[in-house]
């Protein structure tokens, strides 16, 4: 991949990510704060686990791209400070705005540079922007399936929902 190609793809993906951020914030904010312990299965994350996971890991992915290397992922315990949906939505909004700015500053050369993802894959940095989008959509979708069982309403995601 050439630097010009990486920059063009990066610009496209960053714009896509910006659109997805707003939807993710709506889903996080729709979580009822009194049912954060909801867990549909013992192997599934709790509602609180998901509202922590999204801002912390999406920021970690994007920061890793900007830094040009993947380090240890962040702690997702009570120490992270996210204890309710309002905190999680605000945290996600703030962190993603900062990260979008950092990504926009990356050169085509930086975006074309291969990154090693813990020995599992080595791909151009720009690929990991797409992986972050997929990660966010995956866990946002997981969280959106919890909402009604938690007593909440599903917001519009890619069109109206049964609750809108």
Residues 2-33: tens digit of each pLDDT? 999 999 999 999 999 999 999 999 999 999 99
Mean pLDDT of 133-146: 96
- Alpha-carbon distance of 108 to 127, in angstroms, equals 13
Q: For residues 11 and 17, give the distance between their C-alpha atoms in angstroms, rounded to a whole number.
A: 10
- The helix (H) or strand (E) run that includes residue 111 is helix 108-112
Encoded tokens for 22: 């707003």
For 9, the 3-state DSSP assignment is helix
Q: Where are the domains of the chain?
A: 3-146
pLDDT of res. 125: 97
3-146: CATH topology is 1.20.120
Q: Does residue 162 register a pLDDT over 70?
A: yes
Q: For residue 157, how many other CB atoms are within 10 A of its CB? A: 17
């Amino acid at each position: 991949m050439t630097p010009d190609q990486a920059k063009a793809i990066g610009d496209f993906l960053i714009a896509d990510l910006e659109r997805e951020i707003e939807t993710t914030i709506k889903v996080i904010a729709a979580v009822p704060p009194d049912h954060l312990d909801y867990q549909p299965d013992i192997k599934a994350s709790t509602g609180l686990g998901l509202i922590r996971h999204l801002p912390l890991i999406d920021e970690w992915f994007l920061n890793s791209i900007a830094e040009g290397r993947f380090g240890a992922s962040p702690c997702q315990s009570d120490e992270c400070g996210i204890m309710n949906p309002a905190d999680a939505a605000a945290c996600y909004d703030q962190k993603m705005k900062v990260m979008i700015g950092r990504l926009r500053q990356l050169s085509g050369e930086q975006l074309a540079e291969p990154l090693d993802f813990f020995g599992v894959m080595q791909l151009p940095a720009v690929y990991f922007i797409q992986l972050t989008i997929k990660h966010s959509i995956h866990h946002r979708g997981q969280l959106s399936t919890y909402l009604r069982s938690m007593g909440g309403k599903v917001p519009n995601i890619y069109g109206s929902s049964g609750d809108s």
